[in-house]
Structure 1
Amino acid sequence: MTFSFSATPEFDFITCFAQHIQATLRDGMLEMPEKLGQGFIRKIAFGPDFKITIHHYLLQEDLIIKRSTSGLGNDLITVFFYDNEQPLGIAYDNNPHVLFSQRDESAIQVTSNDLSSTIRFPAHQRINYVVVAIKPTRLKELLGISNPNSVVQTITRSGSSFLFFERMQAEAKLLLKKMAAVDMSDGLSNFYVQNKVQELLYLIFHSLSLRESAAHQTINSADVARLLHIRKEILSDLSVPPVMRELAQIAAMSETKLKHLFRQTFGNTIYNYYQQARMEEAAFLLKHGKHSVAQVGYELGFSNLSHFSRLFEKHYGQNPKRFSAS
């Protein structure tokens, strides 16, 4: 199932989606028709400049949501929290879907409203995500940061074009589950959800506020498509370190531009991002696979197991052998 829309200022997702699937919308709640699956979409407004949509469902077929920019301005911030057991497919500029993650499927995305995107949600898997739509002035007021770094300044400044990704930590995952499970017949449910949403916003903007301040480079949908492709290349074989010259050729960017945009979007250098993914893969294999420490080290390209142990301990506070046994 594919749902396409143009991100105009007056667009209301839940109303148009209900019409698309021929479902009834009651008091901001859309129950999924049995022929499509089970679950719900719920919209809650905390004023004209701050709204959220909660998605909690299991579908019989893949759901593909295509958002195209309207060209009518981008005075809206979208914060997208996704937590699911399956990888999230995100594509930009009509490129093929790129899996956002291999082992840790959860993601947080903060974007301006002027980037076209395609998101695929897999069938037969519990989908649990929240979309926050908020105006820059309202967000700035909520955050109340007196001296924001360049990232927060970019997001809260009207007219900026941006996209930032963050990994989702356990605390945010728990908040999403609580929001999906709230008793909607409770008269205070909206108040409860608003508090949880503000906790989610605190978590993501706390992380973003810790990023190094640097001059923001405007980004477009084609740039993001290239960056996600580069990310896929980096993660496709974690036993081989990334070669900047080759990645720049693949991205059709200068090395300088690629380095800057990658760090700006993902919050880390390409090499550090690769090393972090490498350690996460090692942790996954040690915990869930039937691999010895030596097998994991060699599989991830370490010829020196002492170096692998030191690097792993730096990331997790335990050497691989102790981590595997714990």
Structure 2
Amino acid sequence: MIFSFSATPDFDFMTYFARHIQATVQNGLLVIPDYLGQGSIRRLAFGPDFKITIHRYLLKEDLIIKRNTSGQGNDLITIFFYSNEQALEIAYNDKPQVLFSQRDESAIQVTSNDLSSTIRFPAHQTIHYVVVAIKPLRLQELLAVDEPNSILQTITGSGNSFLFFEQMTAEAKLLLKNIAAVDMTDRLSNFYVQIKVQELLYLVFHKLSLRESTAHQTINSADAEKLLQIRSLIISDLSVPPVIRDLAQIAAMSETKLKQLFKQTFGSTIYTYYQQARMEEAAFLLKQGKHSVGEVGYELGFSNLSHFSRLFEKHYGLNPKRYSYS
């Protein structure tokens, strides 16, 4: 099933999606019809400029959501929390979908409303994601930062195009579970959810506020598509270090532009991102208990196991052997 829409400033996802699947919305709740699957979508508003939509369902067929830029401005910030254990595929500019997570299928995406995107949710798997939509001025008032870095200035400014990714922390995952479990018959449930959503926003923007403050490079849908493609290539074979020159050719960008946009979007340099993914993969394999330290090191391209152990301990505070038993 494909649901396509234009992201106009006043677009109401719930209303139009309900029409698309021949369902109704009652008190902010859309129950998925039996023919399509099971579950629901719930919307809560904390004013006209701050809303949350909670998606939780299992569908009988793939769902593809295509957001098309409207050309009517982008005075809206979307924060997308995806906390599934299954793989999510996301693409920009109507290109083939790109897997944006490997071992931990959780991510946080902060984007302006003017980037086209395509997201595919697989059938027969529980889907759980939350979307927060907020106007820049409301977010600026909530954050109340005297000297915001360039990223916060870009996000809370007017008319800027941006895309940022952050990893989902355990604390954020717990908050999402608490929000999903709220008893909405409680008279103060809306108030409770608003508090929890603000906690989520704090976690996201606290991490973004710690990033290096540099001049913002404007991004478009084609750039975003290429960046996800490059990220996918980097993590597809963690035994081989990335070669910037080759990646720049694939992305059809200069090396300088690729390095700048990658660091801006994902918060670290290409090589640092690669090393972090490498260590996360090592930790995953060690925790499985099916591989020795040597097997994990060699699988990830380390010819010197002492170097592997030192690098792993730098990331996790324990050497690989002790970590595997912790």
Question: What TM-score results when the alignment is normalised by the length of structure 1?
Answer: 0.99
Alignment pair present for 1:178 and 2:178: yes
Amino acid at match of 2:239: S
Equivalenced residue count is 326
Contact 1:166–1:204, Cα closer than 8 Å, also in 2? yes
Q: Whole-Å Cα distance in 2 between the matches of residues 86 and 249 of structure 1?
A: 31
Give SS of 1:306's match.
helix
* Worse-matched range after superposition: 115-124 or 134-143: 115-124
Alignment pair present for 1:281 and 2:286: no
CA deviation map 1:42-94 (0-9, x unaligned): 11111111111011111112111100000000000000111001011110011
Amino acid at match of 2:166: E
Q: Whole-Å Cα distance in 1 between the matches of residues 152 and 241 of structure 2?
A: 31
Contact 2:289–2:324, Cα closer than 8 Å, also in 1? no
Q: How does 1:106-255 map to 2 (within 5 A)?
A: 106-255=106-255
Runs of 4+ in structure 1 over 2 Å off = none
Amino acid at match of 1:191: F
Contact 2:248–2:255, Cα closer than 8 Å, also in 1? yes
Equivalence for 1:43: 43
Equivalence for 1:17: 17
Amino acid at match of 2:34: E
Deviation at 1:286, TM superposition (A): 0.6
Q: Whole-Å Cα distance in 1 between the matches of residues 269 and 18 of structure 2?
A: 42
Give SS of 1:43's match.
strand
Deviation at 1:245, TM superposition (A): 0.5
Q: Whole-Å Cα distance in 1 between the matches of residues 180 and 296 of structure 2?
A: 37
Equivalence for 1:291: 291
Q: Whole-Å Cα distance in 2 between the matches of residues 129 and 229 of structure 1?
A: 22
Alignment pair present for 1:2 and 2:2: yes
Q: Whole-Å Cα distance in 2 between the matches of residues 160 and 23 of structure 1?
A: 35
Equivalence for 2:80: 80
Amino acid at match of 1:202: Y
Equivalence for 1:312: 312
Q: Whole-Å Cα distance in 1 between the matches of residues 86 and 168 of structure 2?
A: 14
Amino acid at match of 1:183: D
CA deviation map 1:270-307 (0-9, x unaligned): 00000000000000111125111000000000000000
CA deviation map 1:111-151 (0-9, x unaligned): 00000001111222221111011100000000011110000
% same residue? 79
Give SS of 2:66's match.
strand
Q: Whole-Å Cα distance in 2 between the matches of residues 288 and 109 of structure 1?
A: 29
Q: Whole-Å Cα distance in 2 between the matches of residues 169 and 123 of structure 1?
A: 26
Alignment pair present for 1:55 and 2:55: yes
Deviation at 1:2, TM superposition (A): 1.1
Contact 1:128–1:180, Cα closer than 8 Å, also in 2? no
Amino acid at match of 1:290: K
Any stretches of 5+ residues in structure 2 without a counterpart?
Answer: none
Q: Whole-Å Cα distance in 2 between the matches of residues 241 and 289 of structure 1?
A: 25
Give SS of 2:285's match.
helix
